[in-house]
Amino acid sequence: MNEISIITPDDWHLHFRDGDMLQETVLATARCFQRAIVMPNLVPPVTNAQMAKDYKQRIVEATPKESQFEPLMTIYLTNQTTQQDIKDAKAAGVVAAKLYPAGATTNSDAAVSQLDALNPVLETMTEVDMPLLIHGEVTDHVIDIFDREKIFIEEKLTRIVNQFPQLRIVLEHITTKEAVDFIQSGSSKLAATITPQHLLLNRNDLLVGGIRPHNFCLPVLKRNIHQQALREAVASGSKKFFLGTDSAPHEKHRKENACGCAGCYSAWSAIELYTQVFEELNVLDNLEAFASLNGPNFYQLPVNQTHITLVKESWTIPEEITLPNGNPIVPFFAGQTINWKLKV
């Protein structure tokens, strides 16, 4: 197959950041995605309806006039989040709330340290039917970083799911076989996003031949059996898995650093990379459901009306992109050639 048309996809998990960075990130996403779930981990985090509305406004201002792109806003749960915050957020059109265990990832210091204390908030989210998006990793220092997702599922997520069976939950950017199995065997209220990097890479791509900071993201890449399980999950055609790039830009000097930041900036090539993976797996027919149908179905939003076309044509992802502030950023898969290209 040399050309494939699919319903315009949405990105169900990404980081736009703020300020002049939006001139870069919103454009990169709007080139092919119609909607995106925008993560709230700014500094300070987006914790209530008003902050989400203001942030949305800044994103809309950075969106090209001719674009149909729509940001879907989220709020960040903290130990101070109230039931009223959830009701207000719902009334303001906020689509979901994000749970970061404190210290789990970039800009998560303000996040939830006592999960049990969140029960009243989760009750209200169930009542107003607002999905809970979870960064599924425990953060105890003694837990090995490669086990943090698996242990989160065993010790935290299982309890949340049992206690709130009607709450819609997305386990974000899953990285392990255990996560795939947990989602597959769960109810229709439970789903997961999968990133291009976790489908394309495993921990060898992070550590063999030298540390590769641009492949460092959280949850960290796992061993190849887990990568395989994620590939099988998308190949299965299950409705419970959908596209979430986790595109997470950090300037070059913050990644190439003695203490490098976690996050891959994949917006410039994500849809092409997913297409390549689906082709490798011989399941190009499943791409549209993963990218454009399963997400809206889970979020109870309409499916997009337009289409995009990808053509089989090689191109090389640039080594660097210059941000509006003049600083360089290294995109995910920089310098590598991929087989599919968005037709514009």
Active site residues: 246
Instruction: Please choose, out of 86-94, 102-110, 283-291, 296-304, the segment that lies near ligand NCD by the rule CB under 6 A.
Output: 102-110
What is the distance between the alpha carbons of residues 270 and 11, in angstroms, rounded to a whole number?
10
Identify the residue among 130, 218, 243, 323 touching ligand NCD (CB under 6 A). Answer: 218
Residue 27: DSSP 8-state: H
Considering only the stretches 150-158, 206-214, 246-254, 287-295, report the one whose residues sit in contact with Zn ion under the rule CB under 5 A. 246-254
Kindly state the smallest distance separating residue 246's Cβ from ligand NCD, in Å: 5
297 by DSSP, 3-state: which? helix
Question: How far is residue 194's CA from residue 196's CA, in Å, rounded to a whole number?
Answer: 7
**Is 206 a residue that touches ligand NCD (CB under 6 A)?**
no
Nearer to Zn ion, 10 or 246 (CB): 246
Instruction: Tell whether residue 34 is a contact of ligand NCD (CB under 6 A).
Output: no
Identify the three-state secondary structure at position 129: coil
Residue 202 is a binding residue for ligand NCD (CB under 6 A): no
Q: Give φ, ψ of 194 to 5 degrees.
A: -135, 135
Phi-psi region of 59 (alpha: psi -120 to 50; beta: other; left: phi over 0): alpha
Contact, 11 vs 33, CB < 8 A?
A: yes
Pick between residue 105 and residue 126 the one whose CB is nearest to ligand NCD. Answer: 105
Residues 232-251 touching ligand NCD, rule: CB under 6 A, are 246, 248
Q: What is the C-alpha to C-alpha distance for residues 144 and 151, in angstroms, rounded to an integer?
A: 10
Among 11, 137, 246, 288, binds Zn ion (CB under 5 A): 246
Residue 102 within binding range of ligand NCD, rule CB under 6 A: no
Q: Which is nearer to ligand NCD, 135 or 226 (CB)?
A: 135
Residue nearest to Zn ion (CB): 246
The answer to whether residue 11 forms part of the interface with Zn ion (CB under 5 A) is no
Asked if residue 118 binds ligand NCD (CB under 6 A), the reply is no
The end-to-end CA distance of the chain, in Å, is 19
Q: In what order do the strands lie in the sheet with 241-243?
A: 11-14, 35-38, 70-76, 96-99, 132-134, 169-171, 190-194, 241-243
Judged by CB under 6 A, the stretch of 73-81, 82-90, 100-108, 222-230 that binds ligand NCD is 100-108
Q: Which parts of the chain are beta strand (E)?
A: 3-7, 11-14, 35-38, 70-76, 96-99, 132-134, 169-171, 190-194, 241-243, 307-316, 321-322, 328-329, 337-342
- Closest approach of Cβ 307 to ligand NCD, in Å? 29
Query: Using CB distances below 5 to 8 A depending on partner kind, what does residue 14 bind out of ligand NCD, Zn ion, none?
Result: none
Please identify which residue in the block is written with the tokens 């076309």.
309
Q: Name which of ligand NCD, Zn ion, none residue 193 binds, using a CB cut-off of 5 to 8 Å depending on partner kind.
A: none
Residues in touch with Zn ion (CB under 5 A)? 246
Residues in touch with ligand NCD (CB under 6 A)? 15, 41, 105-107, 135, 217-218, 246, 248, 262-263
